[in-house]
């Protein structure tokens, strides 16, 4: 633009004359910086694009490596979890089979003892019928003597049942102290080894088996202590039958010795 208040030679003119005017000097003075600025901008844009592409490629590589590593760790964790689940399932199946075999063995023993008891009852009736009243009196006398042993045996079994029920309840609890369960276990083993009635019933071996294999507990909402344990109830029933069987075998032995 031309400023009319300034002298003519101070204005930038679009064209110069050959009469010594300096308009061309001003035109070139503006053109050179603009060309330099355009060249700098072009070079800067090209370098910037290169840097951006380089950083983008590096970012994609890091992202791909991270995803690959994360995926490998994920698959490794899944594989390890599956192996652990398979191992636990196998151990659980073995434990269930062992418990089933124990149950079947005890049930078989129980049936055998019931059958023996029935045979003894039949034999007793036959002997009483053959030998008459004197033998009946002897039988009743021996039976009275055995009542005291049987009473002590029933009392012992009731105490053992209460202790085992309490011990199994502590075993399945998340808050009750473990040392209390160990105290009950130790007390039962000591009594089974020292009490004559428990020794006659051979309860020490059964208790050891219970403490080693009976790990069953009810669910977390269970409030009935008698719903805990499986093997212990089979042994308690077995010992009850043993008490009945020993009563008749002792009576039979006493009668035959007379």
| DSSP calls for 192-206 | HHH-HHHHHHTHHHH
111 located within any domain: yes
165 located within any domain: yes
pLDDT tens, residue order, the chain (258 aa) = 444 454 555 444 554 444 444 555 555 666 667 777 777 777 777 777 777 778 778 888 888 888 888 888 888 888 887 888 888 888 878 877 777 777 777 788 778 877 877 887 777 777 666 655 555 666 667 667 778 888 889 999 999 999 999 998 888 887 888 888 899 999 999 999 999 989 888 899 999 999 988 888 877 677 788 888 888 999 999 999 888 888 777 777 766 665
228 located within any domain: yes
18 located within any domain: no
What is the dihedral sign for C-alpha 113, 116, 121, 127? negative
**pLDDT tens readout for residues 44-81:** 777 777 777 787 788 888 888 888 888 888 888 888 87
109 located within any domain: yes
How many domains are there within the chain? Answer: 1
- Cα 51 to Cα 21: distance, rounded to the nearest angstrom: 48
- Cα 177 to Cα 180: distance, rounded to the nearest angstrom: 6
Q: Considering just the CA atoms, what is the radius of gyration of the chain in Å?
A: 50
Length of the chain: 258
58 located within any domain: no
19 located within any domain: no
Phi, psi dihedral angles at 202 (to 5 degrees): 55, 50
> Residue 177 sits in which domain range?
95-257
11 located within any domain: no
């Amino acid at each position: 633009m031309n400023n009319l208040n300034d002298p003519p030679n101070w204005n930038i003119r679009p064209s110069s004359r050959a009469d010594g005017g300096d308009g061309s000097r001003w035109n070139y003075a503006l053109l050179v910086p603009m060309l330099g600025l355009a060249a700098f901008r072009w070079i800067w844009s090209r370098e910037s694009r290169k840097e951006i592409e380089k950083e983008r490629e590096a970012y994609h590589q890091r992202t791909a490596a991270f995803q690959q590593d994360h995926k490998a760790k994920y698959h490794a964790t899944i594989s390890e979890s599956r192996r652990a689940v398979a191992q636990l399932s196998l151990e659980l199946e073995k434990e269930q089979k062992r418990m089933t075999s124990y149950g079947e063995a005890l049930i078989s023993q129980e049936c055998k003892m019931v059958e023996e008891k029935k045979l003894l009852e039949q034999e007793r009736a036959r002997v009483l019928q053959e030998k008459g009243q004197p033998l009946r009196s002897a039988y009743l006398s021996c039976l009275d003597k055995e009542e005291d042993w049987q009473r002590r045996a029933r009392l012992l079994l009731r105490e053992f049942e209460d202790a085992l029920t309490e011990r199994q309840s502590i075993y399945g609890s998340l808050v009750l102290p473990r040392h209390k369960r160990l105290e009950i276990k130790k007390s039962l083993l000591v009594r089974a080894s020292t009490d004559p009635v428990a020794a006659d019933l051979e309860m020490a071996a059964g208790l050891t088996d219970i403490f080693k294999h009976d790990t069953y507990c009810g669910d977390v909402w269970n409030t009935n202590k008698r719903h805990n344990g499986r093997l212990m109830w089979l042994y308690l029933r077995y010992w009850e039958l043993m008490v009945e069987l020993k009563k008749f075998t002792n009576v039979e032995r006493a009668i035959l010795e007379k």
